[in-house]
Amino acid sequence: MFDALADRLESAWKKLRGQDKISHANIQEALREVRRALLEADVNLQVVKDFIAEVETKAQGAEVLSGVRPDQQFIKVVYDELVEVMGETNVPLAQADAAPTIVLMAGLQGTGKTTATAKLALHLRKQERSCLMVATDVYRPAAIDQLVTLGKQIDVPVFEMGSDVDPVEIARQGVEQAKAQGVDTVIIDTAGRLQIDQDMMAELIRVKAAVQPHETLLVVDAMTGQEAANLTRTFHEQVGITGAILTKLDGDSRGGAALSVRRISGQPIKFVGVGEKVEALQPFYPERMASRILGMGDVLTLVEKAQEEFDLADAEKMQEKILSAKFDFTDFLKQMRLLKNMGSLGGIMKLIPGMNKMSDDQLKQGETQLKRCEAMINSMTKQERRDPDLLSSSPSRRRRIARGSGYKESDVSKLVSDFQRMRAMMQQMGQGGGFPSMPNLFGGGGGMGDPYAAGGRPTPPGWRGYASGAPAKKKKKEKKKKGFGTL
């Protein structure tokens, strides 16, 4: 969702390239670009004014470091200010000294509140915290049924008393049941309206008074832009909230809500929804979000996603096979399926530094090539998957696989030759031979093997070398040696 913002900020850095130092004169044009970028991203006007003033002051007062270009230094200043605006650090969910911890979910209708309730329950269950979801939305048709269905999907129980009971009573009895069953966390899904009205606020206040929640989280649609911040402030003033969950952050919204909520409302964003799946909820880390906005990727989130899907012992075995050239098509298919479990290819690519410049067409082509590879591998025998050399020496086997998968023999031949080149290169890397260019295993120009083939390799944000001055290639090599190659 931050692609447009990242592109505009990239043009701001260009204004300072070629300058020997930051001065009041040469920084003005770059600041104008940053201002335009934030306003177009629907960031609150007052937040933009404060942000620009702080960046200008800090950029001109920044200590000049040897070997650091002015544009790199400016990026560092903008990054630090982005982190500060969004809250500096992650604010974790409260946990009561004596169970259960009570979480009250509030928000307008259509923001994804019921789904966010289930997402949060699943997130806590992964942390081995038992949950009970309480359905108190007695007004929206099928709201209770929706929560019950989601509860079955994630294996979390739902307490409900139908649609003819006072929501306050449902919430109170739900908490009592949680206490009786020794449940760790109760999440109460409340009713919303199309807009803020006094009836909704009065009911929320009554529910809150009855259950005394440890957290009151407002679910906000990121696509409402700067209005999201004003909405959070209004709810906080009338009901009293402890934080916000920003949903639909994977959509086409311009991202202004993420930059405005904390500064305008005074309340932290605690979680963000990044997809429709129940698993698509992430704790909000300002520093990681700032990194994504500046096109630097988000390696920590990528690693956390991988850790949820990959078994450490399996990963170590896989790494040994890769570095000794024993990696076969069965292993490759397993890795592809684990990659799918982590989310969409586009979502994963956005987390990798330098990959944010991949176009939608390139990502779609990558997805298509992955499906082609999977279809061809599924048409192989177990023996052929284990020993790719069999396919190199047997045209009849390649023809049979082509017929079975619906592709040409030339496609199968290319898959096999690219796979063998990749194995040889990985073996070379394991023997300390450096980090070679990966072959285009996934097909033609613009595919996964060369994501920039169609549009030219972009210039990555200069600040990545800010702390150490190490070139990007060296960093990639080090990460591969640590085992990132198995991801």
Assign residue 32 the CATH number of its domain. Answer: 1.20.120.140
> Where a domain ends, among 86, 113, 137?
86
Domain presence at residue 238: yes
Strand 243-247: give its sheet, edge to edge. 158-159, 131-135, 185-189, 101-107, 215-221, 243-247, 269-273, 281-283
Same domain, yes or no: 114 and 80: no
Q: What Å distances lie between residue 143 and 58, 150, 204, 238, CA to CA?
A: 49, 11, 17, 25
Domain presence at residue 27: yes
Q: Which residue stretches of the chain have pLDDT < 70?
A: 1-23, 26, 61-72, 250-255, 295-326, 339-360, 362-363, 427-487
Domain presence at residue 466: no
Among 250, 273, 354, 263, smallest CA distance to 47 is for 263
Give me the pLDDT at residue 30, please: 77
Give me the pLDDT at residue 463, please: 39
Domain presence at residue 473: no
Other beta carbons within 10 angstroms of residue 128's beta carbon come to 7
Same domain, yes or no: 40 and 116: no
Same domain, yes or no: 220 and 273: yes
Token reading at 475: 């960093």
Give me the helices (H) in 1-112, please: 3-14, 24-40, 45-61, 70-86
Residues 37, 8 contacting (CB under 8 angstroms): yes
Same domain, yes or no: 275 and 142: yes
Same domain, yes or no: 134 and 180: yes
DSSP state of 486: G
Same domain, yes or no: 80 and 122: no
Question: Residue 406: CA atoms inside 13 Å, Cβ hemisphere, count?
Answer: 6
Same domain, yes or no: 82 and 212: no
pTM over 0.85: no
Same domain, yes or no: 281 and 318: no
Same domain, yes or no: 206 and 69: no
User: Domain of 166: which CATH number?
Assistant: 3.40.50.300
Question: Which amino acid, residue 282?
Answer: Q
Give me the pLDDT at residue 255, please: 64
Same domain, yes or no: 222 and 278: yes
Q: pLDDT digits over 127-165, tens only?
A: 889 999 999 998 887 889 999 999 999 999 999 888 888
Domain presence at residue 24: yes
| Domain that residue 333 falls in | 313-461
> Where a domain ends, among 235, 269, 285?
285
Domain presence at residue 136: yes
Residues 196, 205 contacting (CB under 8 angstroms): no
Q: Is the dihedral of CA 202, 205, 211, 214 positive or negative?
A: positive
- Total number of domains constituting the chain: 3
Same domain, yes or no: 116 and 258: yes
Give me the pLDDT at residue 312, please: 55
Q: Is the dihedral of CA 364, 365, 368, 370 positive or negative?
A: negative
Q: How many residues does the chain have?
A: 487
Same domain, yes or no: 363 and 407: yes
Domain presence at residue 254: yes
Give me the pLDDT at residue 344, please: 61
Other beta carbons within 10 angstroms of residue 356's beta carbon come to 24
The burial of 358, by beta-carbon neighbours within 10 Å (0-12 exposed, 13-18 middle, 19 or more buried), is given as buried
> Where a domain ends, among 249, 266, 285?
285
Question: Which amino acid, residue 433?
Answer: G
Q: pLDDT digits over 41-88, tens only?
A: 778 888 888 888 888 888 776 555 555 666 667 777 888 888 888 887
* CA 136/CA 359 separation, integer angstroms: 43
Give me the pLDDT at residue 484, please: 36
User: Domain of 345: which CATH number?
Assistant: 1.10.260.30
